[in-house]
Amino acid sequence: MALRWPWLPAFGACVVARLRPTSKIRQAAIWRAAKQGAEAFNRRDFDAALVGKHPDIEYEPPRDLVEFGGLSASYRGHAGYVHFVEEWLSAWGAFRGEPIELVDLGDRLVLLAEAVGRGKASGVPVRHSYAVVLTLRGGRVIREQYYKDHVQALEAVGLRG
């Protein structure tokens, strides 16, 4: 339904965004959206993965991967998302994200997750933690900042350190 009527999830997101972060309804709706987003990413359904994301969204890969030279410092918009994911996945033979926990700070969310994959060239299985800080505007994601581990993301939002 969200792909057929894009205004529907946008309306729902506005309603959910007005609820307090401690609201059980908000927590359930946001956790469900995070899981659905991960499932869409894992099956490489980019149209479904972009539901709930602002058209002007900005993606920021982990700094160390940018400094290593594999990725740009940021990507913009829905086309930027697809480009980001294609670059990110170019080193992987298989890769999927598994959400573990979601911390709701009101206008920002911290998604703690685990990456499970296999190196494209080496075939070596890989499992490691990563995190994403999502900034919301009007209930839609306007910015995603990726971190190589949970601690970095929690420190970035002032929850540890």
Query: Average pLDDT for residues 103-128, to the nearest whole number?
Result: 91
Summarised one tens digit per residue, pLDDT across range 20-60 is: 888 899 899 899 999 999 999 999 999 999 988 999 999 99
User: Is 99 part of any domain?
Assistant: yes
More confident residue, 22 or 108: 108
Total domains present in the chain: 1
Q: At 48, which amino acid appears? A: A
Decide: residue 66, CB within 10 A, 0-12 exposed, 13-18 middle, 19+ buried: middle
Task: Go through the chain and tell me how many residues it has.
Answer: 161
Whether 120 is in a domain gets the answer yes
Q: What's the CATH code of the domain at 82? A: 3.10.450.50
Please check whether residue 96 lies inside any domain of the structure. yes
If one compares 70 and 111, the residue with the highest pLDDT of the two is 111
Structure tokens at 95: 């890769």
pLDDT at 11: 60
pLDDT score recorded for residue 70: 74
Task: Specify the pLDDT at position 96.
Answer: 93
Asked if pLDDT for residue 3 goes beyond 60, the answer is: no
Residue 55, classed as helix, strand or coil, is strand
Q: What pLDDT does residue 6 have?
A: 59
Q: Is 2 part of a structural domain of the chain? A: no
pLDDT confidence of residue 144: 96
What are the tens digits of pLDDT across the range 116-158?
988 888 888 989 999 999 999 988 899 999 999 999 999 999 9
Residue 161 within any structural domain of the chain: no
In which residue are the tokens 């890969």 written?
A: 61
What is the arithmetic mean of pLDDT over 91-101?
88
Residue 1 within a domain: no
Tokens of 86: 């294609």
Domain range for 34: 7-156
98: nearest Cα among 82, 85, 110, 111: 111
Token pair for residue 56? 């002007």
